[in-house]
Amino acid sequence: MQLAPTAFLRDWAFGPLAFGMLVGLVMFFAAAGLIMGVRAWAGTEPVAFGPVVLGAYWFGLAGWLLGIGVWSKWAKEWLGLPVDRTMKTGWQRYFDFTTDHKVIGVQYLVTFLSMFLLAGVLAMLMRIEHMSGDQVLFSPAQYNYVMSLHGITMVFVAVAAVIGGFGNYAVPILIGAKDMAYPRLNALSFWLAAAVPVLLAATFFAGGFDAGWTAYAPLSTENSDGQVLFNLAFITLGLSSIAGSINFIVTVIKLRAHGMGFDRLPIFVWAVFAMSLLGFFFTQYIAAAMLMTLLDRVFGMAFFDFTEGGDPLLYQHIFWFYSHPAVYIMGVPGLALALEVISHFSRKPLFAYRWVVGGILGITALSAIVWAHHMFTAGLSTAELFFFITTTEVISIPTGLIFLGALGTIWRGRLWLRTPMLFALAVVFNFLIGGLTGIFLADVFTDIHLQDTFFVVAHFHYTIVGAGIFGLFAGIYYWFPKITGRTYSEHLAQLHFWWTFLSFNLTFLPMFWLGLNGMNRRIAVYPEELEFLNLLVSLGGFSLGASFLVFLYNILKSWIRGPVAEADPWRARTLEWQTSSPPPVENFTEAPRVVSGPYDYGSPSTAHAVFGASTNPDGAG
Amino acid sequence: MSTSTYTAHDSHAINSMGLWLFIVSETALFSAFIFARYYLTGTDQPSELNIGLGYAITAVLLSSSLLAYGAERRIAKGDRRGFLWLTLGTIVLGALFLVGVGLEWREAAHAFAPPDLFGVVFFSLTGLHATHMVTGLIALCFVWLVGWRGGFGATDHWGVTGVVRYWHFVDAVWLTVFPTLYLV
Ligand code: HEM
Ligand SMILES: [Cu+2]
């Protein structure tokens, strides 16, 4: 059974990619034809976007995955056929069904950073629109599409960039493993996620979508066809997240090196582990919400249709049952990455390590019972309001623990203010603002005023961008030498930091006042008296956008011809720095054995790990 | 605390854990639809619901799980013939169950077609379950095929164990879906 022309797949750099697209397109159109045929035969109008695309998509997706390598490198095995075990080398690995977790990490990073920059351009367009209270660039409908596309793209970036990128790249090395527990499933997760930007781009040709990233029914059951693609994109990313989460959970439980007890896990590993516990379970609820919407839209069901007795609030419950945990998935990995960097760059053990771990596990558990704080104005009963205020306020306690861990580590540390550390400190600053403003939203009395205003927009940008994305950049500057084996310009990096940090605050701080003064979310035109604050926000936004040009220039140039990096440029203790830059395939040349905590900078004579079976377990590093 | 080393780990335990996690995850998906059933329709039931047929297909599905259990036991003992026959039996009963669901759907499409609210939850719950059945059947066919070509043995049959466990899970889901729709 020869599905793939093997030599072509193996030898041409873009062979797998091209073949995946080809098989995907063929299967998509074949299935679409079949569905239309069946519809014609059954006497219904054959061409209908919803049913045809909804059905054919899964065949296209399967074809894409099989073509790019699932068939030749994996599925053949299920039939007892020999699989292709060749691995491309150099840059070609990034365009193949490669199972090396470091390659997959970089694939995620590059893909989602690109999406980040594109969605940033959309944000610039929105800020042009908001430079004046009147209509400038877009009709209200067009504005809503741009806003929705910006929102969902950024949400996907926040969900997948840090966990998919650095989770994959760093977690196996940090725990002393060769790879993830299921390397092929890992590659599958990435190539599934790769379908997501394609779907989002395709919405442009299907009338767009205008229901925001939250896609509330009933609007999302009756707007333009692009909404179907949005729902499919969310489900697809969900499948990828579920597979990835299971992979992380098993990896952390099963593949830790000798001596790497749970009490010695780097805090970033803890965060990825805890967020995977959320991801593998709760992501099914977004799949359910998206599926019910599609059933209503395409198959004439009525989950959310109140004219038939359905209930739009059901959508909100299921949506937020996932999406509240998801906002932690977006924020906490970046926060933990900042803690990681802060400990290494303060040359101090992470303060109250056990309490911080407890804090992470605490918000993981509590995040399951706070979702309806997003629905305070949707008509909940007093008892429900009371319950959800209480749980939401309680979640401040574990959040505070994580925060104290950061402050306690900085306190009297010998701070080494290199770029990763600057970004990490900014995470702490931004997250303080984001977290404190959350408290006003958690109180029904204040939230009734603030719901659906720019106050909420500012709050979640401070948490998700301020912590999650700033954490992503802390990670990029921290691990860049490890990943590429090269060094970036520290001057340009610091320029990028200050430019981004100041512009970020100039952009989002005024939004709190805009919200307080009644500026609603998701509107193209607004009252004239809000123009001044909006102008500030717009100018801050343009500056923020421009600051990433410095980043791009620095990173691209250094990746190609930066000075060669050492194995451990930061003199940090954790395992990734105890191997070459970049690390070899399977990470270490000798098996590591962990002999002390990751942050024990107080006792410089001990190493975190020793290598090779013959080494004295207590030996100095 | 016991930890795996850098070099050696038990691949069976690793695969098994992943499958359990996947099963727990799928439970969440079904729970959303079951929640929707109670949220939207309480415990209402149309009188046209064919409970007899419901019991019948439940019995068929339970027997298929028994056969699947037997199939796994046989391959673990190295009895390939027995394994193949029992797997085939599982597939046949699984398919029979789907036929039963089809009959059920034909009646339901007349009595309470969506957007009737009970129809909405009935068709989506049974449909979601049937999709999982189809996946399980395809996997069982693969297992049968590999076994027929001489794959799997007494010590190496994770493929069988995994698929059979999934099959039991889909069965267990039905044992929740059935009372949710028919009995409450
Ligand atoms: C990692 C930290 C956090 C992240 C990533 C985060 C993210 C978000 C996001 C994305 C939204 C808006 C969703 C939308 O409507 O589009 C939001 C709203 C909200 N957040 Fe947070 N948040 C965090 C921390 C907190 C904290 C600590 C609190 C409470 C003490 C809080 C309370 C709220 C409330 C009550 C809302 C609903 C506001 C409304 O829609 O009226 N958040 N958050
Ligand atoms: Cu929330």
Answer whether residue A605 shows pLDDT above 80.
Answer: no
pLDDT per residue as tens digits for the range A506-565:
999 999 999 999 999 999 999 999 999 999 999 999 999 999 999 999 999 999 999 999
* Shortest-distance Cα residue to atom 37 of ligand 1: A374
3-state secondary structure of A98: coil
Q: Give the start-to-end residue ranges of the domains of chain B.
A: 8-40+51-183
Q: Give A460 Cα–ligand 1 centroid separation in angstroms.
A: 6
Answer whether residue A617 shows pLDDT above 90.
Answer: no
Answer whether residue B4 shows pLDDT above 60.
Answer: no
pLDDT per residue as tens digits for the range A585-597:
999 999 999 999 9
Tell me: domain A102-561, CATH 1.20.210.10, correct? Answer: yes
CB atoms near residue B7 (< 10 Å):
10
Please report the residues numbered 41 through 80 in chain B whose beta carbons come closer than 8 angstroms to any beta carbon of chain A.
none
Q: Give the start-to-end residue ranges of the domains of chain A.
A: 7-79, 102-561
* pLDDT over 90 percentage in chain A: 92
Largest CA distance in chain B: 62
pLDDT number for residue A1: 44
More confident residue, B166 or B9: B166
Q: Give A388 Cα–ligand 1 centroid separation in angstroms.
A: 13
Q: Nearest bound ligand to CA A213?
A: 1
Q: Give A377 Cα–ligand 2 centroid separation in angstroms.
A: 14
CA distance A110 to A101: 14
Closest CB to B9 among A246, A254, A301: A254
Tell me: domain B8-40+51-183, CATH 3.20.20.70, correct? Answer: no
Q: Is A271 in the pocket of ligand 1 (CB under 6 A)?
A: no
The mean pLDDT value for A28-49 works out to 96
State whether residue A372 sits within 8 Å of chain B by CB: no
Range with lowest mean pLDDT among A77-81, A192-196, A483-487? A77-81
Q: Give A388 Cα–ligand 2 centroid separation in angstroms.
A: 10
* pLDDT over 90 percentage in chain B: 92
pLDDT per residue as tens digits for the range A243-287:
999 999 999 999 999 999 999 999 999 999 999 999 999 999 999
Q: What is the pLDDT of chain A when averaged over all its residues?
A: 95
Q: Which residues of A touch B156 (CB under 8 A)?
A: none
pLDDT number for residue A612: 81
The mean pLDDT value for A343-358 works out to 96
Q: Is A460 in the pocket of ligand 1 (CB under 6 A)?
A: yes
pLDDT per residue as tens digits for the range A167-214:
999 999 999 999 999 999 999 999 999 999 999 999 999 999 999 999
Phi, psi (degrees; rounded to nearest 5) at A14 = -100, 15
pLDDT per residue as tens digits for the range B35-49:
999 999 999 999 999
State whether residue B151 sits within 8 Å of chain A by CB: yes
pLDDT number for residue A84: 87
Q: Is A461 in the pocket of ligand 1 (CB under 6 A)?
A: no
* Shortest-distance Cα residue to atom 8 of ligand 1: A460
pLDDT number for residue A363: 96
ipTM comes to: 0.95
A385 pLDDT tier (thresholds 50, 70, 90): very high
Residue in chain A lying closest to B150 (CA) = A80
Answer whether residue B2 shows pLDDT above 50.
Answer: no
pLDDT number for residue A621: 32
Residues with CB under 5 Å of ion ligand 2 are: A 324
Q: Which residues of A touch B117 (CB under 8 A)?
A: 302, 308-310
More confident residue, A249 or A605: A249
Q: Is A367 in the pocket of ligand 1 (CB under 6 A)?
A: no
Q: pTM here?
A: 0.95
